[in-house]
Amino acid sequence: MLQILKRELPSGYVRFAIRFSAALLVLLVIYKTYLWFTEQKEDLDWITYQVSFLSHKFAVALGIADCEFSCFMDGCRIGVEGKMINVLEGCNGIKLAFVYIAYLVGVNENTRSTIIQSIVGLMLIQLFNVFRIGMLVMLMYHGGEVYFFFIKYIFGVFIYGSIIVLWLIKPLIDKSLQRYVQT
């Protein structure tokens, strides 16, 4: 079976797949352990809190002056009374960043480039998530069917599509980074 796989798959792919899976597993185990500890302390995890807090600030900046913000053990509620949204652990976008980083580790052609791209990617995904939740609070406030359309299609397609495009253009980013480091 392994021989057939080795023959059929391009060289280096098995190595990539193992590194990709291992990196993802390690990141998820660390994250789950952290979540377990915060649960034991009967506290909300720091990432969800920060994402919710910044989203609230962004929603206020968008013009929702009476936007409320309250946190519980399982997540935070943001919005105007009666038109709130619930930001839970699964909404913080960190798992998407883990998959993005795991791919970079799997390919790993240049350690420095991988580290830079991981940090920048993580920050970009989190910034987009803050923008997404802030916009959803605003759409919920103004009501209408647009909210459901955005949450179901627009934001999902955009973030998942962006991650795949970043993976595809990784060789170009590597080249640009190398040029930048050399100069």
SS3 content of the chain, % helix, strand, coil (to 5): 75, 10, 15
Which of 26, 88, 119, 123 lies at the binding interface for another protein (CB under 8 A)? 88
Residues in CB range of 61: below 8 A, 6 or more apart: 134
Each residue 116-135 as x (binds another protein by CB under 8 A) or -, in order, gives: -------------x--xx--
Name residues whose C-beta falls within 8 Å of residue 99's C-beta, 6 or more positions apart in sequence: 24, 163
Is residue 145 within the footprint of another protein (CB under 8 A)?
A: no
Q: Which residues contact 162 (CB under 8 A, 6 or more apart)?
A: 128
If binding is defined by CB under 8 A, does position 160 make contact with another protein? yes
What is the C-alpha to C-alpha distance for residues 27 and 95, in angstroms, rounded to an integer? 9
Interaction with another protein in 37-56: which residues (CB under 8 A)?
Answer: none
* Closest distance of CB 183 from another protein, Å: 27
Residues interacting with another protein, by CB under 8 A?
9-13, 16-17, 20, 24, 75, 77, 79, 82, 84-88, 90-93, 95-96, 99, 102-103, 106-107, 129, 132-133, 136, 151, 155-156, 159-160, 163-164, 167-168
